[in-house]
A and B are shown apart, each in its own frame.
Chain A
Amino acid sequence: MPLEGDEAAEARYQQLLAAGMGEDALEGLVAALYDVSWRVRKLAAELLARVDATPALVDRLIHVLGDRGQTGARNAAAMALAQLGPPAVPSLLTLLQHPDPDQRKFAADILGELRQPDAVGELIGRLEDPDPNVCVAAAEALGRIGGVAAGRALERLLDSKEPLLRLCALEGLGQLSRPPPLPSLLPHLEAPETARSAWRLLGQIAHPTAFALLCRGLLTPARDAALAGLGAREVGLAADGEGELKVTLRHVEQAEGWLTQALASEERALRHGALQAVQAAALSSLAVGVAGAAEGGELAEAALKVLIRLGLPGANALLAGDPPALTSLGREARSVAGEAVLRAAEPVLVPALAALAAAGDFELAELAARALGRSRSEAAVAPLAEMLDDDLLAASAARALVTLAVTVPAQCTQALLQSLERRPRPHALRAYAQVAPPAEALAMLRRCAHEADERVRAAAAEASATLGVELLSTALADESALVRRAAARALARLAPADALPLLRRALADDEPAVLTSAAVAAGELGAKEVTATLEALLASSGAVALAALQSLFQLGVLSIGLLQSAARHADAEVVKAALTFAAGSAEGVKLAVERLQHPRWDVRVAAARTLAVSGGRETLIPLHAALERETDALTRELMMVSAARLAER
């Protein structure tokens, strides 16, 4: 898109886009690599990368690489070559020998991008190039490509006289997760040019000595690098390691301030290292920073583990202040902090949780409700009761009061009753029916069954199964489908004799939602009397057919014919359920083999899974054929698990 006044570049961009990628367009695309606008050059490179990678095209692009003074065009050509893949490799290997060091560097860079193992030998040769830039590019490329030979060459490069090459070697080895032997690494920890990379690589060495060195490093001026080294470790802290780190941190000057900064660093390894340090030193005062380190999601799991370890003091720190510290965090950090608070919900946190609920943030108020419910404290009833009157928070508050009622039943029941007397709401009614004595609950349900609000009537119907058959019967005749559906769902909790006439009525409803609930109830009730109706429902749309199929299976009346019909259903979930239910039969194996060609990836996975459970070794042939055809990576991966299981048979 143009800056105002840059319409000409935009016109060239659009022209290039419209010209497409035919043979005739090739010249135009190559010429566009020289355009003054970077957007046009980028587009040209992208389009060239999609053209057939003929030797002529590769040579043309390599020719552009040699065009000195045209930096933009050269970079764009390099970008196109890097996307052309293996066909570009032979010419690039030749280019590695070009007399112009710039050309050799380009070749090494592109080969690194292409990650072609065939190039390793030639790139190793370039580590001796008279031009240091070429050496560096070759080392970086080897770090990208990897493999035993590349790793060994990078290790040898650690002895280079050039600091830049030593640095490249360390970086490359780090990228390959292939730390060198400890003695070869140690000298690099001291040198300012290589220290940062070397400490990180040290973190990749899973050995007590390496860990001890990292701890010692925290007491030196290179402490940031050592901390990042700790963060480069992929394994968690073992108990003895944690002890060692804790002792070390006692001697670190102004550790809290330093770790606070590290937790907020842009560098992932540094943040990760700081998380481990906070955990070891149990610095609950840094809980907010720990949660902050989760921002972006990458370290969310690690941060959560630390917060859980910080326990109640950590939760207290997250909830401290007005507004609570938690409110200042970004979305992901809040979510992690929220889960930690939830797990630490103790009675002592109730006042802080009540303050959080009142802070005006809906999401945090929901979290506060959940935590208050788990607090086992009578003091939590009042703030939850207040939330019952808030339409947005009523559902969370009602659920929390049900949880809390395990500890303080009378107070929770009273709070729910008072709320219902002020204004009946569905969530409070459902909760009240669960916690109140049966006679009192029934009285309230009867009252609410006549409410004008259909959501309240539906809640009354749903909750009335164990309390009032009459209420359910009336609800099944309600004009609102919402109420009838709730009643149908509740039928499963009646005694079968009471339920059957109501079930027949529900199964004759014309609303799919009611039919779905009734079909589910039929299976749960064991109502074989309605088998024929359920069979007929298999021809319905997804939700109804799935419920009918599940119930027929539960009733033990699912014939092969019905399974075959379900396996042809238009909805993938019905097909998957049919494959699951068919797993015990020879016909199921046949159905699964056929479904290996289903257009939906998840059905193909389900079919493979059925074969893994029921098929004989002979089914490996169609499964392998399906794997050959499979182009979707995840499907292939999941199917291979099934194939491996089958092969063990």
Chain B
Amino acid sequence: MPFEEDARPLLTAEEFRLLKELLLDACGLQLREDLKYVVERRLWPRLEALSLRDYSGYYRYLRFDARAREEVELAIELLVPHETYFFREPTQLGSFERELLPRLCQQNASSRKLRLWSAGCSSGEEPYTLSMLIAETGLFDGWDVQIHGTDISRRMLTAARAAEYGSSALRTTTPAQLARHFDPISAGRFRVKAGLKNRVSFGHLNLLDEAGLKLLPRMDAIFCRNVLIYLEPAARRKVVHSFWEQLVAGGYLLLGHSESLLTFSTDFALVQLTGDLVYRRPAGA
């Protein structure tokens, strides 16, 4: 039964706290107190879809329903912005393409292998963008290149695997890039070219899940942009530690432009590139 237009129930302070605790426990997500109204509005469609009258009912659904795990993922998906598009943050990508990829090419010249990880890849735009940048450099032709995209949302991964995108995802893609890297499938919709798509694989992963992380190979570079800001400090620390463990010595960690590791001590070294600051696991570490 659809809700009345203005029937959005109020999220009480108690319900908000319960939801916060549950999501913190599930994935380290930190919901700030001032976001109560935002949480209320973003989760409302779920109450509507599940015919639940209030947020207490939704909390119990998240705890007890047989579909709770799926629903927790959906709630996280709704609460954590996954706004992404191709070639997002061009300055950082430019530095990656012009400065880090040549270094990695040199570093791995003997193995001719390159492993990249897009942690929190959402609907796939970032790992595919990396695949495109690698192709554009021409440095890795004939190499064994694998790009891994992981996300906590299975729905996002389904979209990522389909590799089909419309105008919103392509908002900063130039016509030339569009022609080089995409095949048109219908008016305004494009599919990533098979060669670029094939070296990207996707997997479901909660970044706090240590067992899941062990399934990934050691990486030459990790992109984790605009994910850490949503995690509470202990979870953030744990995830950064996992990144350290997951990187090869001399591997790079690239964060979003509003994120940094300055608030806590890590063993990463800061590397100043022309247009960006990135983090590096030192060569001997």
Contact = CB atoms under 8 A, between A and B. Distances in A.
Interface stretch (B36-44, B90-98, B143-151, B212-220): B36-44
Interface string A336-366: 1001000100000000000000111110101
A638 B15 CA distance: 12
Interface stretch (A51-59, A154-162, A325-333): A325-333
A1 B34 contact: no
A5 to B, nearest CB: 9
A642 B244 CA distance: 49
A376 to B, nearest CB: 12
Interface residues of A, number: 57
Interface residues of B, number: 50
Contacts of A10: 265
B81 interface: yes
Contacts of A14: 265
Contacts of B2: 373-374, 399, 403
Contacts of A335: 38, 41-42
Contacts of A392: 155, 158-159
Interface in B176-210: 187-189
A505 B38 CA distance: 44
A298 interface: yes
Given A513-B66, A634-B13, A358 B60 contact: no
A361 B155 CA distance: 13
Contacts of B268: 1
Nearest to B165: A360
Interface string A566-595: 000000010000000000000000000000
Contact of A297 (B35, B188, B189): B35
A605 B56 CA distance: 14
B267 interface: yes
Interface in B1-44: 2, 5-6, 13-14, 17-18, 34-35, 37-38, 41-42
Contacts of B41: 300, 304, 335-336, 339
* Most chain A CB within a 10 A radius of its CB, from B45, B266, B268, B280: B45
A364 B2 CA distance: 19
Interface stretch (B100-108, B110-118, B126-134, B166-174): B166-174
Nearest to A481: B66
Contacts of B42: 335
Contacts of A297: 34-35, 37-38
Given A391-B158, A634-B13, A634-B14, A358 B49 contact: no
B109 interface: no
A327 B17 contact: no
Contacts of A182: none
A10 B123 CA distance: 38
A178 interface: no
A188 interface: no
Interface in B240-283: 261-262, 265-272, 279-280
A168 B62 CA distance: 50
B88 to A, nearest CB: 12
Contacts of B37: 297, 300-301
Contacts of B266: 1
A181 to B, nearest CB: 33
A322 interface: yes
A3 interface: yes
B270 A573 contact: no
Contacts of B60: 546, 573
A35 B268 CA distance: 22
A331 B270 contact: no
Contacts of A343: 5-6
B75 to A, nearest CB: 14
Contact of B66 (A370, A485, A542): A485
Contacts of A13: 265
A362 B38 contact: no
Contact of A332 (B38, B49, B166): B38
Which secondary structure dominates where chain A touches chain B?
helix
Given A297-B35, A328-B171, A374-B2, A361 B270 contact: no
A332 B78 CA distance: 11
Contacts of B81: 330-332
B214 to A, nearest CB: 25
Contacts of B155: 362, 392
A359 B158 contact: no
Given A573-B64, A634-B14, A359 B269 contact: no
Given A327-B168, A359-B168, A374-B2, A546 B64 contact: yes
B89 interface: no
A81 B131 CA distance: 52
B14 A605 contact: yes
A410 interface: no
A638 B269 CA distance: 47
A485 B272 CA distance: 57
Contact of A543 (B63, B168, B279): B63
Contact of A323 (B5, B168, B270): B168
A4 interface: yes
Given A300-B38, A543-B63, A602-B14, A4 B271 contact: yes
Contacts of A395: 49
A17 interface: yes
Contacts of B269: 1-4
Contacts of B270: 1-4
Contacts of A551: none
A447 B147 CA distance: 43
A361 B125 CA distance: 12
Interface in B41-67: 41-42, 45, 49, 60, 63-66
Interface string A536-554: 0000001100100000000
A638 B14 contact: yes
A316 interface: no
B166 A359 contact: yes
Nearest to A339: B41
A220 B170 CA distance: 43
A379 B278 CA distance: 51
Contacts of A513: 66
A358 B166 contact: yes
* Most chain A CB within a 10 A radius of its CB, from B37, B158, B166, B272: B166
A338 B277 CA distance: 36
Interface in A291-314: 297-298, 300-301, 304
Contact of A1 (B17, B63, B262): B262
A516 interface: yes
A362 B83 CA distance: 11
A392 B164 CA distance: 13
Contacts of A332: 38, 81
Nearest to B277: A3
* Most chain B CB within a 10 A radius of its CB, from A343, A360, A543: A360
Nearest to A294: B38
Contacts of B187: 358
A366 B45 CA distance: 10
Interface of B: 2, 5-6, 13-14, 17-18, 34-35, 37-38, 41-42, 45, 49, 60, 63-66, 81, 83, 123, 155-156, 158-159, 164-171, 187-189, 261-262, 265-272, 279-280
Interface of A: 1-4, 10, 13-14, 17, 39, 297-298, 300-301, 304, 322-323, 327-328, 330-332, 335-336, 339, 343, 358-362, 364, 366, 370, 373-374, 391-392, 395-396, 399, 403, 481-482, 485, 513, 516-517, 542-543, 546, 573, 601-602, 605, 634, 637-638
22 contacts: A1-B269, A2-B269, A4-B269, A4-B280, A297-B35, A300-B37, A322-B167, A323-B171, A327-B171, A330-B81, A331-B81, A332-B81, A343-B5, A358-B189, A360-B188, A362-B155, A362-B159, A370-B45, A543-B63, A543-B64, A573-B63, A638-B13
Given A542-B63, A546-B64, 17 more contacts: A1-B269, A1-B279, A3-B270, A14-B265, A323-B188, A327-B171, A339-B41, A358-B189, A360-B168, A360-B188, A361-B169, A364-B168, A396-B49, A399-B2, A399-B49, A482-B66, A543-B64
